[in-house]
Amino acid sequence: MAEKSLRLDPMVGDLQALTGVRFHFATFTSLFANTIGRATFMVFLLLGLRVLLRNQWLALAATASIFSAMIAVNSALPWFVFGIAFLMNGLMLFYLLRFGYLATVVVMTCNYFMGHFPPDLHWANWYASSSTLCILFLAFLTAYGFRVATAGQKTLADDFD
């Protein structure tokens, strides 16, 4: 397994969220605020670097490098983590450029949410409520997103035969 050979840290999630429903809700609400703040920072950083470097894609690469370096410095395998993080951050920034701020906030929220409440298939665990919350939240967000995005238009072009 990659995590054995590479000695990557195990994914912990938000241990505080294990301490009850109230903590679920607290983490849940603060996640929104955090992702909005981070996405906003990402936008401003990208814009600033775009002005400095005068090229959108250079600005994207520079922004991704900065974010990746912040993650990599705390890792046991900084260059490997930097590469992976660069790809992920680059994808997120491309998403920001292509689909805009709101879509990026939603993606980041889902991303962080799944990191804090990792969904798994062990429903018998006493902390399975975290997984359930994750599933319900993502399902709700998906349904709400569809509803808002269609804005009264029908989702399907034809009925199912």
Partner 1 sequence: MSEADLTKTTPRSHPSITSHSTIDEGRFPPGTLLGQRYRIVSVLGRGGMGEVYRANDLILGQPVALKFLPVEMAQDEHILTRFRNEVRVARQVSHPNVCRMYDLGEVDGQPFLSMEYVDGEDLSTLLKRIGHLSQDKGVELARQLCAGLAAAHDKGVLHRDLKPANLLLNSKGQLMITDFGLAGLAEQVQTDIRSGTPAYMAPEQLSGLEVTHKSDIYALGLVLYEMFSGKKAHAAETRAELQRLKDGGSAPSLSSLVKDLDPAIERVIERCLSPDPMRRPSSALAVSAALPGGDPLAAALAAGETPTPEMVAASGSHDGLRPRTALLLVLAIIVGWIGVAMLNSHVTLLDKIPFDQPTDALAQKAKEMIATLGYTDKPADVLYGFSKNTAYQEQLNKHFGGKAWEHLMHTRPSLVNFWYRTTPGSLWPANDRNIYPSEMDPPMTVPGMVRISLDPEGRLLNFRALPRATDSPLDGPDDWSALFKLADLDMGMFKPVEPKGLPQVTFDQRSEWKGTISQHIPHEFRVEAAAYRGRLVHFSVAVDWGDPPAPPPSLRARLGQPVFPPALHVGLCFRRVDGVEQLEGRTHGPPWRLAPGDPDGRRRLLHLPSGRALQHIHEFQPGDVELAGGQHLRRRAVRHHVHGLRTPRAQTLAGDAGGLGPAVFRTLHGSASRPPRAVRRRRRDGSGPVGGRLQHGRKKPAAGPDGG
**Residues found near partner 1 in the complex (CB under 8 A):** 1, 3-5, 7, 9-13, 15-16, 18-20, 22-23, 25-30, 32-33, 36-41, 45, 65-66, 69-70, 72-73, 75-76, 78, 114, 118-122, 125-127, 131, 135, 138, 142, 148-161
Among residues 93, 130, 136, the alpha carbon closest in space to that of 115 is found at: 130
Smallest gap from residue 56 Cβ to partner 1 (A): 19
Burial 129-160 (b: 16+ CB within 10 A, else e): bbbebbeebbeeeeeeeeeeeeeeeeeeeeee
Smallest gap from residue 77 Cβ to partner 1 (A): 9
Smallest gap from residue 94 Cβ to partner 1 (A): 19
Q: Which is nearer to partner 1, 65 or 94 (CB)?
A: 65
Q: Which is nearer to partner 1, 51 or 121 (CB)?
A: 121
Smallest gap from residue 58 Cβ to partner 1 (A): 14
Burial 38-71 (b: 16+ CB within 10 A, else e): bbeebbebbeebbeeeeeeeebbbbbbbebbeeb
